[in-house]
Structure 1
């Protein structure tokens, strides 16, 4: 028989919370009925949702200890209201109910997770292999014991404890696959071992490891610039074809140690390490039009002259590692409980090189043909495929290094209250100290003259991409081009402005400290539970960066621009839960949250280009950005059928002050980086006035166990979320725009079967179009991510009680990523990834 324990997400009071009327029945059912695999995981996830203080959704690893998706982001996207921001076909960041990933609080075992990216607060969830996690809980409403930096909500990733299972246990799995676009074979393996030992099994230990290796092939076509008006027709400025060859390796380890000498004392020590390595070559070929040479024939076709063909190669390496260690203890004193925890995390992101070569060829003529989805450009002759006709244009080697150190301490105390039936009072404090640095270094070289052509450093020849639609031609051999540069330095001239900009503009040092304290109650009155409370957070930030003028400043200058902000905020909130009956729960919440600006936008850098021109260009950070504040209102109804199914509906509304957008303003007069400038073009970040997010979330999940055998093994689930958002108060725009990355519709559906050792699932995830970038003053120039729908499937068979064989496939419909500018027929870019299939074995004991 399976003995499956309910392990809720982090809450100091949940072990002492009196059970709801249906809870004991559900637990007994789990302990007396043999339930394993996906159904067991789904039942536990339903229990997580049912007994949580606020509105949550959860996923659980199955009893083999492994989720069937590549990383955490891809697993969580199947929950209601969740979509992913992808990178080359893989989920990377999460968007919850239409709110940007940088406003989502990601925690690891209840503590804030570090963000390795240098430009934002969003946590990369493709760094964390799915094989290392036990559960993920998405909290859509906040309680005062949670960080307030969670306008989008909170995602908590839990690793496995030895006390989550009985006895000694272990797992091992291995998989081998095929990607149809690259023709390569991804593989991975993972394993875990855990158990209890010592007198009365008071000690517990779990160790888990994971490694995956994927070689991806990605193909991309995009506009080289904007869509422009030529003789009354809207046409692109050229075409840019890209072939990516990417090698991604993930590895990780978890080591969790627990000591429980008695029922009143618990202590733990946690270690989590993940490593993400990404190496890539990007071959480019394209033709850039001369606007004066474009001659439209009609609305969908035309010719061009005086175009410029280009071929480029970018090679890059990325090495990201994240390490987290935490120690803590919990003590019970009669009916009171004290909990404390210390955590240290480091995210280390190195890009040893991000180098790019470019070659060009002029006087290109040809035709273009527009379509509803994409377009083609056909040159008049084969000269663009002759490598000997391309001359060197530029060479730009670059590297960067970002580090985030995160120190955290928290203490929580819970005590009973003589109010209602089983009420309690909880209060606590948290300290967070974040140190973030980014250091970029680069050079910009132009070709001064000599005999070099692309033919001298040519690589292989790519026949075509997009299944033969776009001929490609010769590529650049990176090592050969680098050798030529090293052996012929006299043929190259350094662009000092480009070197200065690459090496100084992105550098910053940020130190941010947050002091928090809270008090909250859980007041129980029969079938009602009310959780009122308030949280205080004091934020102190100090920022350092570079202010420089191209052509004047030097590479060795120290940080010379400084800023800082300190502010104290109060976050009152109330959550209400009403158990209408044994199976119906109504929840309501009114809460307040904060969203702190991204690091890149806060860094007080100033870059000035062409200061003596009539229209100097300025790019700068804004340390005076205001935080975002959100008032959140949520109402949900949940109907449970034991722990076999749930039907729920939720409405939500967020009123957000000070949303942040990146803007460029013309005709600006003022002092920039110590220089008085007139009529400058200034790019920076600014606060808009306000925004709203509102929506409806519907969810249903049910085991069809009432059907006659063998059909009683089927389960179905589906969810859809309708969202609408709008922001106003952007400079130079009097209209309302959506929030970035917000889709109007997000949905997923799954059909699964589990019986006789067979487990199968087919799933579909969908998100509608979302705004990627808002134009300065023209809605027709807004860039949108087009809608995206993906089919995935998995089937496994338990050959024995210990051994399972499986086959799975992702993106089986070969869905493409696509952006458009203003209108769907104006393609920004389109990218395809192909499908991936994997087969493997899983072993457990």
Structure 2
């Protein structure tokens, strides 16, 4: 057996042995103490409608021991000494209630509790107030710092997907997709989305992206979710990764409801620039059945189609300086694009949940989640390209070469799928609780069509002279240039390309957690667990078509004119291509090759075969983790702490690509390996001065794993002018390691309210920007002694290394208030607002890059909303704003900066009957299409445009019926 496999088995054995030992030690607690203890359990519901209340705090007054109700409203005390006790139940928005419980040795006491009075409560009703009460109750009772968006709250926000819903959470900002304009990724406290840990129903979500660890949340519709939780601090029983935080998406089960549920929503989607109405459907059915309702099934689904239209103006290559490597001489774009896009998206979400209460103490749950986003995008562009990117002998940009105008169209189809299937169980016996489960998650990104076709024409101007005084860069064109651009005659085939890309990740996981509740005056629980997870990633890239030959635009065919004046851009209408031929470019081009093989050639094909792409790879990442943690309480003080150990092993099959001047390119499969172990202490201290006043402090450590390609990436050996350059992966690369500190103060109000403030600080060692790793000199001796390179001059040998350090610190403020005591109609008013102010600096270790802001880390994020709920009306008017943020590096190590952006969104819902409601949602109400939703600049506040996206407002309206 290979030594690596032996090491894995030994490590796993140690983890399992540690958990087994913990179990034995816990089980060896005094038997007499166990026999003298009893179990107190029950369910908390709302009297008015029987709704199960999760997040309620249940306290035994005499001992101070407390429990929190789960999604099914259940609470449990596993080791209560015999005697008489007062049990108090607290839930935000409802008056507290106390009940008397008498226990005897070995008893199992069931005590259900109803809160409120049927028909007598003013505050707690179904709708957004109920959602806020649930969210705040869960936050208040939690062991760590977290923010919760409940099912009703998410569904009633005018948001299309999980990313958009989360932008209302303190400390969360959204990174929008450039073309469609929808939120795709989220940043928590200024850290890249790839530094978050994202789970679906407790299973780490597989990532479909090619070369990063980001999970796109725009494919997950909010209607498919029961709750979204953002964990700002991590406990030992949470995964090792998550420097930014942990995002947990949960779908519902039938056991979450007291009654049968049938819910149906029919809606229409309208985007004002696309000017077309599209359908949306959502449905949920849930019921319990069997003897004593021990079985449950829930099925939900959502389907929507959305058409959007907009414009993107951007420069597609790095800026050039007029004097070589001296940007102070001024810069100019090599290419500048004017682009109209039409985007059609179809989203499907389907969820199933099966429950089985096998006994009174054992329950099994299966959850399956399927999400699919199918995106079709057509772009019609005109782009200008400067005459050359070469410099003369004096280091000055050559300005004597004529530039070109290029009519460029692209048709792309992308399919993203995300699936998660989890089987979990819970068994409670005496003072012990066993949680166990297995899970599978897979994600895939397929691009079956990515057709790019451009026709080009030479102009008089060099196209390096732009007027950048306004919002839109304007090339200075002669009258002859403008006439040439508008005339289809003279355009010849220029750039064209068809790529086929497929990336896929599969994750498998198994876990066992054991909780022991001793009959102790201060030690509330001891918890231990182990987990195994395997992630397999595959990237297949293929270059299918690059046609060369004498094809003219007149022969290919033109499409309609594109007018950018719709969004106020000062450009003349320009030509576009025949869209049918762009969509069918592969067959069209192959037909030319078949009919005229002497004139037309597919440059990608060699000897009738499509060449390999060295970026393709497969990797496997195995992680073995174990932890021990305890929870203690002394009066108003809670202490939760412990240690987590995580061991990761990475193997990858990649290409070694050798391109020497005197030989044909060679591609060989090679293997790369790496492993590392992380020790993660974590500590959380809570001071509960009263039921509604909590002070939290936390110290925890976390990691961010490097990309597999950095560790075991392709070896690229390339010769140019007799010199060989080598790039190779680094098996010694380590994960980034973060020290995190958090302090917050929270004051809750029974009228569904909260005022809180907190500070946070993160110090990150071995920091690596997502998608960018520092480079260093690799093992030269290895390649100097390579017989294949004998007699060659080895120039640069480059590998990846860890960066240096980074830090981020900030403050979060949050307020939520309802005003039910105001007279008359004013009693329906409510507000919520939050603001985050943060500062970040990173020393990437990349030569020439000064310390600067993290990517996607705005210094200020603000949300303010006015809500109303009364007389059958529910409404929200919310404004969200974020400051400018750096998004990536550009030429001369300049950061591309996205300018500030704000959005006003609204929602109103009216109950026609208690079971039938009409609603209207509006997103970006103030956006008339003439202000960019994405405005990226070459440096903060720069007049040089990197890219800007213009789109319009969207409106969704429909009917919701429940039975």
TM-score, reference length from structure 1: 0.92
Deviations 1:188-244 (A, max 9, x none): 111001121112111111110110101121311112434444484444444211122
- The answer (yes or no) to whether the contact 1:720–1:747 under 8 Å persists in 2 is yes
Cα 1:668/1:433, change in 2 over 3 Å:
closer
Whole-Å separation in 2 of the counterparts to 1:589 and 1:377: 55
Q: Which residue pairs with 2:516 in the alignment?
A: 415
Q: Which residue pairs with 2:49 in the alignment?
A: 2
Cα 1:592/1:262, change in 2 over 3 Å:
same
Whole-Å separation in 1 of the counterparts to 2:847 and 2:610: 27
Shift of 1:371: 2.3
Paired residues, number = 832
Whole-Å separation in 1 of the counterparts to 2:312 and 2:890: 23
- The answer (yes or no) to whether the contact 1:669–1:679 under 8 Å persists in 2 is no
Deviations 1:411-439 (A, max 9, x none): 11111134434601111111101111111
Shift of 1:683: 7.9
Deviates more, 1:411-420 or 1:310-319: 411-420
Identify which of 168, 185, 197 aligns with 1:93.
Answer: 185
- The answer (yes or no) to whether the contact 2:268–2:279 under 8 Å persists in 1 is yes
| 2:339 is aligned with 1:221 | no
Identify which of 943, 952, 959 aligns with 1:834.
Answer: 952
Q: Which residue pairs with 2:906 in the alignment?
A: 793
Q: Which residue pairs with 2:827 in the alignment?
A: 712
Identify which of 560, 564, 568 aligns with 1:460.
Answer: 560
Cα 1:21/1:4, change in 2 over 3 Å:
same
Whole-Å separation in 2 of the counterparts to 1:554 and 1:755: 78
| 2:901 is aligned with 1:812 | no
Shift of 1:731: 2.8
Q: Which residue pairs with 2:173 in the alignment?
A: 83
Deviations 1:748-769 (A, max 9, x none): 1111111101111111112212
Deviates more, 1:816-825 or 1:72-81: 816-825
Deviations 1:7-66 (A, max 9, x none): 359x99974379997726755576432511111101101111101110000101218966
Shift of 1:278: 0.8
Cα 1:804/1:266, change in 2 over 3 Å:
same
| 2:521 is aligned with 1:438 | no
| 2:381 is aligned with 1:284 | yes
Q: Secondary structure at the match of 2:135?
A: helix
Shift of 1:267: 1.1
Cα 1:273/1:364, change in 2 over 3 Å:
same
Deviations 1:98-156 (A, max 9, x none): 01111100011122111111211111111111111010010010011110111111011
- Residue segments in structure 1 that go unaligned for 5+ positions in a row: 295-302
Whole-Å separation in 2 of the counterparts to 1:95 and 1:502: 38
Q: Which residue pairs with 1:320 in the alignment?
A: 416
Deviations 1:453-510 (A, max 9, x none): 3553322221335345323422122542525412221333344599999842321111
TM-score, reference length from structure 2: 0.81
Whole-Å separation in 1 of the counterparts to 2:521 and 2:276: 63
Deviates more, 1:803-812 or 1:820-829: 820-829
Cα 1:124/1:729, change in 2 over 3 Å:
closer
The structure with more radius of gyration: 2
Cα 1:598/1:665, change in 2 over 3 Å:
closer
Cα 1:63/1:648, change in 2 over 3 Å:
closer
Q: Secondary structure at the match of 2:855?
A: coil
Cα 1:111/1:667, change in 2 over 3 Å:
closer
Q: Which residue pairs with 2:369 in the alignment?
A: 272
Q: Which residue pairs with 1:518 in the alignment?
A: 627
- The answer (yes or no) to whether the contact 2:337–2:382 under 8 Å persists in 1 is yes
Cα 1:759/1:684, change in 2 over 3 Å:
farther
Q: Which residue pairs with 2:815 in the alignment?
A: 700
Whole-Å separation in 1 of the counterparts to 2:466 and 2:848: 33
Whole-Å separation in 2 of the counterparts to 1:214 and 1:390: 35
Whole-Å separation in 1 of the counterparts to 2:821 and 2:469: 51
Deviations 1:786-805 (A, max 9, x none): 22211111111110001111
- The answer (yes or no) to whether the contact 2:751–2:817 under 8 Å persists in 1 is no
| 2:581 is aligned with 1:480 | yes
Q: Which residue pairs with 1:298 in the alignment?
A: none
Q: Which residue pairs with 1:105 in the alignment?
A: 197
Whole-Å separation in 1 of the counterparts to 2:729 and 2:372: 31
Deviations 1:276-300 (A, max 9, x none): 1111112221112237999xxxxxx
Q: Which residue pairs with 1:38 in the alignment?
A: 128
- The answer (yes or no) to whether the contact 1:133–1:159 under 8 Å persists in 2 is yes
Q: Secondary structure at the match of 1:460?
A: coil
Shift of 1:592: 0.5
Q: Which residue pairs with 1:334 in the alignment?
A: 430
Q: Which residue pairs with 1:613 in the alignment?
A: 721
| 2:639 is aligned with 1:530 | yes
| 2:141 is aligned with 1:51 | yes
Identify which of 336, 353, 359 aligns with 2:455.
Answer: 359
Deviations 1:566-591 (A, max 9, x none): 12211111101110123210000100
- The answer (yes or no) to whether the contact 1:666–1:680 under 8 Å persists in 2 is no
Q: Which residue pairs with 2:471 in the alignment?
A: 373
